[in-house]
Structure 1
Amino acid sequence: MDLAQYVKTLNTGHESYPDILSYAVEKNVPVIDSDALAALKHLIRIKAAKTYLEIGTAIGYSGLHMLSVYDDSRLITIEKDEASYETAVENFSKYKVGSRVDAHLDDAKTIDLNLDEASVDMLFIDASKGNNQLFFDKFSPFVKEDGLIVVDNILLRGLVIDDGITGRNKRKLKEKVDAFNQNMSKSNYPTSFLPVGDGLLVISKSQV
């Protein structure tokens, strides 16, 4: 066991939704890694965040976990894949949180979200990785001052530092994700790049 695996084991707690996680593994649905999920939920507790805007619902796994932190929390979530969206809605209903979820079947790149600016405590970006900058620019205005913006998969399973990429699409993806990471590291926003899961970027809405 290496140090990264040791820390991941320590960070991984009880799984509240084993059936959904098993489904994700069986169907190859990408979901947030267990140690990154633990960090995400810890951030929610630290900030006492109760309203979440999620870009990329998938099958509702991360959304359920976010909603599990506080019984009075609410989730606005966007998913463009119809099959994933329908599965997520079923999962929200199964765990009796459907009344706390505003789920949109739409493309986050083009959706016109009817939401007041500075109205959510946390923005969680976990959709098409090459659009991280677009999603940040489009949805960060909805986050309250001193709220949080969290972006998953900023390391692309190591692809982001791979200089031997030959495939054009992978190379473009790497360049886009790296450009976003570099932009945020040089921005006026307080940021932390956490090497948990596939990399978690935590951004405070307040500028320095």
Structure 2
Amino acid sequence: MELINYVKDLNTNEELFPAIHKYAMEKRVPIIDSDALNVVKQYIAIKGAKNILEIGTAIGYSALHFASAAEGVHVTTIEKDEASHEIANQNIGASEYSENIKTILADAKEAELGDAQFDFLFIDASKGNNQLFFDKYKEHLTEGALIIVDNIFVRGLIADDNVENKNKRKLRDKVRAFNQAMKDSEYTTSFLNVGDGLLVIY
């Protein structure tokens, strides 16, 4: 067994929402990897986060898991795809966490949240816009808030210096620039080799 798979197995817990997970696998809906998910949930619990903002709802899978991470957690999640938004609402509405999750149908690049404040931000939308999402939504964070960005490895693209496809190369370069900018910033950062890569920013 490879070491990375050994650690992945240790970091993966029993699935709380098997039907939604199965649907995502069958329909190829991009959701957070199981090992990375449980690391994020642990950060939520350790932080004692109560108000989470998620950029990228998809079908509501991660929002449900976040709401389940600790008592009294509330999640606000933004999704621009109407079909995904509707499925997410169905999944959330059928769960015990329906009162803990607020879904917003909007493009996260333009969404307005008024004076809402959050103590935890999870970014998992279009990877080329990580910097934009970070800059826009950090204004809604309380002092000492935690930010986690998923897919910072872009399924291995980040380490590929021989990308021929122009669009993929542009995406790689944008994610690389964001990762480096966060490393060089005033914030405390950790780059974790779990799932497709997690960036933790404090």
TM-score, shorter chain, exceeding 0.5: yes
Deviation of residue 142 (structure 1)?
Answer: 1.1
The equivalent residue for 2:151 is 153
Match of residue 175 from structure 2: 177
- Is 2:112 the counterpart of 1:112? yes
Secondary structure class of the residue paired with 1:98: coil
Structure 2, unaligned stretches of length 5 or more?
none
Task: State TM-score, norm by structure 1.
Answer: 0.95
Give the drift of 1:70.
Answer: 2.2
The partner residue of 1:132 within 130, 133, 157 is 130
Question: What's the offset of the Cα at 1:147?
Answer: 1.0
Give the unaligned 5+ runs of structure 1: none
The equivalent of 2:35 in structure 1 is 35
**CA drift at 1:96:** 2.7
Identity across matched positions, percent: 56
In the other structure, the counterpart of 1:163 is: 161
Hey, what's the Cα distance between the residues in 2 that align with 1:85 and 1:126?
15
Tell me, what secondary structure is at the counterpart of 2:177?
helix
Aligned pair count reads 202
Partner of 2:83: 83
Question: CA deviation digits over 1:169-194, x for unaligned, max 9?
Answer: 00000000000000000000000000
Q: CA deviation at 1:113?
A: 1.9
**Amino acid in the other structure paired with 2:127:** K
SS in 1 for 2:35: helix
- 1:3 is aligned to 3
Letter in 1 for 2:197: G
How much is the aligned-residue C-alpha RMSD, in angstroms?
A: 0.8
What letter matches 2:90 in structure 1? E
* Cα separation, 1, equivalents of 2:71 and 2:180: 36
Opposite residue 174 of structure 1, the aligned amino acid is: R
Cα distance in structure 1, aligned partners of 2:70 and 2:5: 29
* Residue-by-residue CA offset, 1:51-73 (whole Å, 9 max, x unaligned): 10000000000000000012321
* 1:42-87: CA deviation from partner (whole Å, max 9, x where unpaired): 1011111111000000000000000001232111110000010000
Of stretches 58-67 and 95-104 in structure 1, the one that deviates more from structure 2 is: 95-104
The alignment partner of 1:96 has SS state of coil
SS at match of 1:151: strand
Letter in 2 for 1:108: A
What is the CA–CA distance in structure 2 between the aligned matches of 1:152 and 1:140, rounded to whole Å?
Answer: 16
Instruction: Give, as a single letter, the amino acid of the residue that structure 1 aligns with 2:153.
Output: L
TM-score, scaled relative to structure 2: 0.98
1:111 Cα offset (Å):
1.3
Instruction: Using the TM superposition, give the Cα deviation of residue 112 of structure 1 relative to its aligned residue in structure 2, in angstroms.
Output: 1.8
